[in-house]
Amino acid sequence: MILMQLNGLSKSFGAEEILSNIKLEIKENDRIAIVGRNGAGKSTLLKIMANQLSYDEGELIKPKDLTLGYLSQHMSLESGKTIWDEMLEVFTSLLEQEKQLRTLEKQMEQSSNLSEEAYEKLLKNYDRMQVNFQSNGGYTYESDIKAVLTGLNFQDYDYETPITDLSGGQKTRLALGKLLLQKPQLLILDEPTNHLDIETLSWLEGYLASYPGAVVIVSHDRYFLDKTVSIVYEISRHKTKKYHGSYSKYLELKAQEYEQDLKAFEKQQTEIKKMEDFIQRNIVRASTTKRAQSRRKQLEKMERIDKPLGDESSASFSFQINRRSGNDVLKINDLGFRYDGENENLFSNINVHVNRGERIALVGPNGVGKTTLLKVILGNLKHSSGNIQIGTNVQIGYYDQEQANLSSSKSVLNELWDEYPTVNEKDIRTILGNFLFSGDDVLKPVQALSGGEKARLALAKLMMQKANLLILDEPTNHLDIDSKEVLEAALIDFPGTIIFVSHDRYFINKITDQVAEMNRDGITVYLGDYDYYLEKKAEEAEHQRLEQEAMPVQKNEPDKKRSYKEEKQLQSQLRKKQRRITELEETIEKLELKIAELEEEMTKPEVFQDHEKSFELNEEINQLKQETENLMEEWTILQEE
C-alpha cells in the first residue's frame, strides 16, 4: 500500500528555487533516507510532507486517514507536565477505556439488580471492550513507556521530574520518545540523532528496525543510515534520484553510475569527432559527397548524451605540520577532575599514553567528562589529581564543538587575517575559497553564519595553525556528508597525532586506530576501529555472562581469604533468586491458564444466565488477575536486579 506519493513537486522561496519536479513514493514499512548537501532542501521537503509547509506546483497524494508523526530538527518538548505524565498523554484513549472497564466491573458486582437480558448485554459489552483494550496495548502501555524512556537514557531520572527542569537536548529526546510511542503509520524524522550518545543511537537503530510503520529520515549520521534504511533519495540540483540499498550501497551505485555515464559520453564524443572529421574531409569531393551528407544527417538525428555532472563543489584542504613532535606526545597518569564546590570527582584514575602518529577516538556516555578531559589536557581547566606531561616539540591545535574561538563581531576574512596578519589577502581568500567561502561570502559577519559555515571556518583556522597534535571535540557536528568526507580525507593524510571525541561512528571507523572508552573511574583502550571495539565489547559481555552463570570463586588470593564466606553467601542468594524466578514463572503460567478457563466458562449460556454464578466467576477472575499482576511485578524486580 502506498502511504504517500509526490509528483512533480516544486518549491521556491521568492526568486530562489529550492525543489523542482520532485518525485518520491513511500510504501508501508519503507525505510527511506533523504540525503544531500546542506541547503539542498531536505528539511523543506520533510516539512512539505508533514503538512508544515505549502508547495508551489505538483501534487502530494496520501490517504485521508494516514497517521503521521514529524520530528523537526530543532523540536523541543515544552510542557508543564512531568516526564511520566507527558508520555502517558499518548495513551489518553486507553486510559479512558480502562476507566470504562472499571465502571463495567462495578456494575457487574451489582448484577443481582439486573435482569438476565441486561446482565448478558453487560457481559458481552465488557468482553468486547476488554478484547479491544488488550489489542490496543492496554496491558503493556506502561512497560512501553518505560522501555522508550530507558532507551533514550532517562532510566536514572525520577519520572515525576517536571519537563521544565530539563535541558534543551533532553526535551528533544523526550519529543522523539513521545513520537515513537504514538506509532504513526508514517514517521518523518529530521536529524533524530542530534543529542544522542552512541548507546542511545544503537537503541534507536534497533527500535526503528522493528517499527511497524514506514520511516523517512534526514540524517548526517552515515553509520545510522546504514543500519536503518534500504532506500535512498538524493536531492541534488533541486531534483531527486532514487537508489535501492543502504547508504554505503547508494555511494557505490552513484560512483558506478557516474563512471558508466562518463564512458558512454566519451564514447559518443569519439564517434561524433570521427563523423565530423569524415564529413569535413569528404563533403567537397564529388565521389564521396553523398556519403558525407548521409553522415551529416545521421549526426543531426543523433540523441546527444550530456556530459555527466560531477559532485557539486566541495571544500578542499589538508592539514600540514610546522615540525615533527617527539615519539612521546602525551602522558596522563592517575588524572582526576572535580568542579569547584563539588565533593565528588567528575572522573578519576585516567591513564593514557599517546605516541606520535596515533589516532585515538574518545568514546563514552554523555556526561562522563570527555569534553572536560580535552579541556584539562589543553590547560583550560585545572585537574584535581594526577599529572599530564606534554611531549617534546608538541604543538596543539584544538577544534571546539561550540566554536567559542570564533569572534562573532568580525567578518569571515578578518577572523583569519587578524590571526595571520603577515599573510597577504589573496592567500587568505584562497584558503577561505577552499572552505567554500567565495566572493562576498568572506565579508559576512561571523554571527550571521550557519552552523555548517562556522564549522568550516573553525577548520580553516585549525588548518592554518599547522599543529602536530590535533585535539578535536565533535568535529563533524554541523557538517554535511560531503564536508565530512573531505575532513576524513584530510585527517587520514595528516602526518601528526589526533585525539578526538565524536558520536559519528562512521567517522570514527574511518579515522581511528584506537578507541578509548571513558568511564568515571578510568579509561579502557581498544586497539582497532569502532567496529572492532563493538566486537570486543560483545565478547566481554558474553564472557561476563558465562562467568556469572558459572559463578567461579575469585582467583585473586587476597580476595579469596577476605570474602570467601561472602562469596558463598552470594552464590546461595543467586541460586535462591533463580529458583524463585522459575517458581514465579510456573505459577503465573498456571494462573493465566486458570483465568482463560474461567473466562471460557463465563461464555456458556447456563453460566452467564445465572447471575449469581457469573458474579462469583467474575470475582474469582479479578482476584486471579490481581494475583498475577503482583507476581509479575515481583518477577520484573528480580529480573532487573
Predicted local confidence at residue 117, as pLDDT: 83
Q: What is the pLDDT of residues 381-436, one digit of tens each?
A: 999 999 999 999 999 999 998 877 788 788 999 988 988 899 898 889 988 988 88
Predicted local confidence at residue 467, as pLDDT: 96
Residue 113 pLDDT > 80, yes or no?
no
- The beta strands (E) that lie in 373-426 are given as 385-390, 396-399
Q: What is the pLDDT of residues 561-595, one digit of tens each?
A: 444 456 556 666 776 777 778 788 888 888 888 88
Strand 385-390 vs strand 328-337: parallel, antiparallel, or unpaired?
antiparallel
Assign a CATH topology to domain 572-640: Helix Hairpins (1.10.287)
* Amino acid at site 419: E
**What value does the mean pLDDT of the chain take?**
87
List the CATH code of the domain at 328-528. Answer: 3.40.50.300
Nearest of 238, 268, 217 to residue 30 by alpha carbon: 217
CA-to-CA distance for 290 and 279, rounded, in angstroms? 10
% of the chain at pLDDT higher than 90: 44
* Amino acid at site 226: D
Predicted local confidence at residue 562, as pLDDT: 43
CA distance to 79, 143, 198, 586, per residue, from 82 (Å) = 8, 17, 26, 37
Domain ranges for the chain: 252-301, 328-528, 572-640
Each residue of 409-426: b (16+ CB within 10 Å) or e?
A: eebbbbbbbeeeeeeeee
Predicted local confidence at residue 462, as pLDDT: 93
Rounded to 10°, the helix 116-135/92-109 angle is: 150
- Assign 307 a pLDDT band (cuts: 50, 70, 90): confident
Predicted local confidence at residue 333, as pLDDT: 95
Position with higher pLDDT, 332 vs 448:
332
Contact between 540 and 402 (Cβ < 8 Å): no
Q: What is the pLDDT of residues 138-167, one digit of tens each?
A: 888 888 999 999 999 888 888 999 999 888
CA distance to 62, 281, 359, 483, 510, per residue, from 498 (Å) = 50, 63, 5, 19, 13
Q: What is the pLDDT of residues 367-385, one digit of tens each?
A: 899 999 999 999 999 999 9
CA distance to 8, 223, 239, per residue, from 35 (Å) = 19, 13, 11
Question: Can you say whether the dihedral through the CA atoms of 520, 168, 189, 92 is positive or negative?
Answer: positive
The gap between the terminal CA atoms of the chain, to the nearest Å, is 45
Residue 220 pLDDT > 80, yes or no?
yes
Predicted local confidence at residue 572, as pLDDT: 61
Residue 78 pLDDT > 90, yes or no?
no
Q: What is the pLDDT of residues 519-569, one digit of tens each?
A: 999 999 999 999 999 999 889 888 888 888 776 555 444 444 444 456 556
Position with higher pLDDT, 230 vs 283:
230
Predicted local confidence at residue 571, as pLDDT: 64
Strand 359-363 vs strand 514-519: parallel, antiparallel, or unpaired?
parallel
Q: What is the pLDDT of residues 2-47, one digit of tens each?
A: 999 999 999 999 888 899 999 999 999 999 999 988 778 899 999 9
* Amino acid at site 362: L
Residue 596 pLDDT > 90, yes or no?
no
Per-residue pLDDT, averaged over 281-309, amounts to: 80
Q: Within a 10 A sphere around the Cβ of 641, how many other Cβ atoms?
A: 7
Predicted local confidence at residue 559, as pLDDT: 45
Per-residue pLDDT, averaged over 121-129, amounts to: 87
Predicted local confidence at residue 560, as pLDDT: 45
Predicted local confidence at residue 568, as pLDDT: 53
Cell of residue 156, nine digits: 536514572
- Assign 277 a pLDDT band (cuts: 50, 70, 90): confident
Question: Can you say whether the dihedral through the CA atoms of 534, 537, 539, 545 is positive or negative?
Answer: negative
SS3 (DSSP) at 385: strand
